[in-house]
């Protein structure tokens, strides 16, 4: 830790810690020393305990989000609040928190309409974290948690029961919450509904778990990889369909009395799989897109089919979650044994294992690799 300049306590403390950065587009990530300032107004300093390796971090490394290199990667995290800014009352030093990238503002048009899960002006820390030479870092999703410590807006810290495993709880910070919320919040899955989930990676399998939690009577998991379909079985799928060997739409219809599913969750983000989801739903059913497409993708559907089939076509961003409402509830369900978050933790790795974890993720070998610090 280095100290520079006077502050309210006599010193402006900057914390010298290890972090994982993407220095340039497509280059392997590297572990290096970063400087993290003490929190100012509205901010919190968090000692990171665990952080999941998410596809979004890989998108940052590949320049798929923006070109504001260097990036401090990692965002799916939990940890202990170490210190807070002078005006912060929502969390305190010693609190166990899950970090989120939806720190609602309370004043935008969505918040004023009572829909804070759509907040259009979420908060991030205002002070930069930097490399040792002073180069500012762009923290992934405003968090940057592949680091021993990170600086965030206090609203990005959601206090949860400290009895939870840090590796499991931290996954609520992004992918697992996205999948759970696609079923519970966006899809509004209800008791007795039939649900199909297309794409059974981390997000898709979380949607399977969410559908089971909601009381769906039939949960159909669809993927090209039998290993992922087995994971889906373990998380609540009642039926599985391998899209390499079966017609996905006909298979889902055949498992739902010829009708199609009440809710189809597309967790791939491709036009081909979205089209399958569209035609695999029942009349007046719901399609939820939670898979993230790339900018060049285009979708073509007969407009008459869009009109004639009725129902709803929805997109789910972060599972339409409200962290302060959803994270504590889901952690409580985990501690009660009703939501198996541990099943998503395929392996734990050190901070310098992120690049190799990206490769395993790309090969579909893991649901989540989790960095433990």
Query: In the chain, pLDDT over 70 holds for what percent of residues?
Result: 97
What's the whole-model pTM score? 0.94
pLDDT of residue 12: 65
**pLDDT surpassing 80 at residue 216:** yes
**pLDDT surpassing 50 at residue 1:** no
DSSP letter string over 122-154? ----SSPPEETT-PBPEEGGGT--SBSEEEEEG
**Alpha carbons 273 and 288: distance in angstroms, whole number:** 12
The confidence band for 324, taking pLDDT boundaries of 50, 70 and 90, is very high
The confidence band for 110, taking pLDDT boundaries of 50, 70 and 90, is very high
pLDDT in tens, 160-204: 999 999 999 999 999 999 999 999 999 999 999 999 999 999 999
**pLDDT surpassing 80 at residue 54:** yes
Q: Which of 258, 136, 262 is nearest to 197 (CA)?
A: 262
Q: What is the dihedral of CA 195, 201, 202, 203, to 10 degrees?
A: -50
3-class state of residue 222 by DSSP:
strand
């Amino acid at each position: 830790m280095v100290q520079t300049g006077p502050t309210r306590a006599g010193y402006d403390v900057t914390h010298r810690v290890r972090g994982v950065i993407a220095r340039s587009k497509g280059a392997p990530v590297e572990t290096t020393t970063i400087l993290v300032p003490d929190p100012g107004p509205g901010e919190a300093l968090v000692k990171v305990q665990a952080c999941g390796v998410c596809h979004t971090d890989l998108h940052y490394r590949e320049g798929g989000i923006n070109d504001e290199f260097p990036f401090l990667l990692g965002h799916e995290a939990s940890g202990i609040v170490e210190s807070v800014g002078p005006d912060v009352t929502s969390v305190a030093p010693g609190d166990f928190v899950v970090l989120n990238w939806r720190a609602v503002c309370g004043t935008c048009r969505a918040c004023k309409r009572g829909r804070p899960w759509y907040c259009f002006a979420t908060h991030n820390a205002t002070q930069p974290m930097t490399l040792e030479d002073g180069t500012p870092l762009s923290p992934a999703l405003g968090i940057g948690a592949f680091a021993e410590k990170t600086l965030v807006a206090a609203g990005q810290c959601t206090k949860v029961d400290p009895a939870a495993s840090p590796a499991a709880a931290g996954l609520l910070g992004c992918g697992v919450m996205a999948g759970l919320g696609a079923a519970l919040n966006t899809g509004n899955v209800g008791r007795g509904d039939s649900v199909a989930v297309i794409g059974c990676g981390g997000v898709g399998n979380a949607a399977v778990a969410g559908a089971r939690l909601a009381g769906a009577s039939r949960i159909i998991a669809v993927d090209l990889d039998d290993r992922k379909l087995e994971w889906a079985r373990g998380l609540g799928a009642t039926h599985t369909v391998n899209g390499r060997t079966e017609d996905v739409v006909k298979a889902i219809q055949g498992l739902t009395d010829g009708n199609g599913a009440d809710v189809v969750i597309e967790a791939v983000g491709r036009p081909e799989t979205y089209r399958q989801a569209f035609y695999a739903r029942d009349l007046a059913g719901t399609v939820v897109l939670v898979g993230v497409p790339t900018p060049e993708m285009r979708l073509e559907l007969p407009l008459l089919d869009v009109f004639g089939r009725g129902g709803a076509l929805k997109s789910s961003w972060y599972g339409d979650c409200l962290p302060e409402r959803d994270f504590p509830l889901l952690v409580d369900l985990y501690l009660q044994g009703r939501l198996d978050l541990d099943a998503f933790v395929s392996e734990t790795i050190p901070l310098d294992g992120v690049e190799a974890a990206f490769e395993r993720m790309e090969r579909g070998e893991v649901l989540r690799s989790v960095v433990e610090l």
